[in-house]
Amino acid sequence: MKEIQVNIDPERVTWRRDPRIYGHFIEHFHNQIYGGIYNPQSPLSDDEGFRTDVLEAWRRIQPPVVRWPGGCFVSAYHWTDGIGPERQPHFDKAWRVEDTNEFGTDEFIALCRKLDTEPYICTNAGTGTAEEMSDWVEYCNLRTEGKWAKRRIVNGSVEPHNVTYWSIGNENYLPGEMGAKTPAEWGRFVKESAKMMKRVDPSIELFAASVADLDWNIHLLREAGPFLDWLSIHGYWDPLWQNNRLSDYEACMLFSTRIEAQIEKTRHILGAMGYLGKIRVAFDEWNLRGWHHPNVDKAIDPKDYIEPRDLNDLDDTYTMADALFSACFFNQCLKHSDLIGMANYAPSVNTRGLIRTHEDGIVLRPTYHVFDMYVNGLGDQVVDSWIQGNAVFKVEQGKESVEVPVLDVIATIVEATGEVRIALVNRHPEDTVTALLKTRDGRRSVLSWQGLSGDDKNAYNDKNNPERVKPSAMTGWEADDQGIRITLPPHSVHIIGL
């Protein structure tokens, strides 16, 4: 394959990197909470019931924010059932299982404090009311005023929880969501809910469930725009809700070229409505692959709609495809840092998570290592970068053959030192690529180089082989007057310091 030139201009800073793009999400779905993060029966849990191995791994990737409790779960969830010493189970109408309510608001806040992360609460805009949402803000944020703040104190939290981030609703634009709304209904509902929530605490930052759709946002922004700080959008590019037929590596690399379209469409809508630069966008649920939950709306026998959810936890379905897609997703968030201020990987633990639990420990999936590399390896500021003469490979889609660019890049600098930190992705399934790195500020050398690749494009980690895919120090670069030549293995992600 021909040499591909990667150009970096360290003096042209575009945006500051917002660490909130490395956010997380957990939902009361299958074994994410119970048996995952929270398992008082496990010998690996602390005295509050949290898995210590999960917490340790999670802390290493410095989660800036965690979104909870849903997801579809929240659209029929009443938060008052999950506080206090006496809790009754409820039937979760979204996922058709009984939830014990053992894990509620105070437990979520405790988790966030253990992780040193900001809590982000998504409210019930399905069967809930504006008053119920504002009461939740009162419970969390007021010091002593009102019955709900006093209830929090009685429940053991004298100091307020001080939750900054609050979302009105989840995916209320979807017909299958509990309490789905029309665009006109949604705009009005969000306005009235936002008014009450900000009357309780004007300092909170409000999100509203949205989608890259003009009609939906015209109603939402006309009605509620002055109250909103964020639009919440979601992205799952390999939808597996009913059929668990996972797309292959090549198709996933094609999906990685389609992330930007959703961002740009949302940008144009905000611009047309006069809110560009005033309201930011949170990809507060995202993953390459959608969660598998077939027949939830029609099956009678639980084995037909609950047992298939176990397929989400099969380690061999989380491969280099997931890792590279995630790297490309981060590159797009960084490229559009003026608009995308938060993103929440869905979910963090179990199902299609970064971390999978089992009775003896955890498995760190390849995407976990991408988080580690990006969170701990990139600089503070995004700088201009572009690829000259990128190669392509072809992916068959139906009767068409679509070209996918081989390299994907984002460049940053460490503000304090001026060190350049580059994220490079080689999407090619089989071919090694030579990249020529050229910086406009003169000759540089490689200070550090960490790579993530597998012995196969479908390589994965599991209980028996937990480190088959993990980052490693790389060598083999050459420098001359043209720049730095660096060889990238196929299906690989790299963070390079210059």
Residues with catalytic function: 171, 285
Would you state the structure tokens that stand for residue 291, as one six-digit string?
């969660």
d(CA 328, CA 340): 14
Side by side, the strands of the sheet bearing 483-488 are 472-473, 448-453, 492-497, 420-426, 407-413, 381-388, 4-16, 433-439, 483-488, 478-480
Whether 177 contacts 126, CB under 8 Å: yes
d(CA 295, CA 305): 5
Half-sphere exposure of 134 (CA within 13 A, CB side): 17
Q: Which of 241, 235, 251 is nearest to 176 (CA)?
A: 241
Half-sphere exposure of 439 (CA within 13 A, CB side): 23
Q: At what angle do helices 214-224 and 259-272 cross, to 10 degrees?
A: 40
Sequence-distant (6+) residues with CB within 8 A of 29 are: 70, 71, 72, 73, 95, 291, 293, 309, 347, 351
d(CA 30, CA 97): 9
Whether 421 contacts 411, CB under 8 Å: yes
* DSSP-assigned states of every residue in 136-188: HHHHHH-SS-HHHHHHHHHTT--S-----EEEE-SSTTSTTSTT---HHHHHH
d(CA 6, CA 406): 12
Whether 44 contacts 35, CB under 8 Å: no
* Consecutive H or E run containing 451: strand 448-453
d(CA 233, CA 245): 25
Other beta carbons within 10 angstroms of residue 465's beta carbon come to 12
Sign of CA dihedral 218, 223, 226, 228: negative
| Residue 441, amino acid | D
Residue 81: Cβ-neighbour burial (10 angstroms; 0-12, 13-18, 19+):
middle
| Pairing state between β 448-453 and 492-497 | antiparallel
> Strand, helix or coil at 62?
coil
| Residue 303, amino acid | K
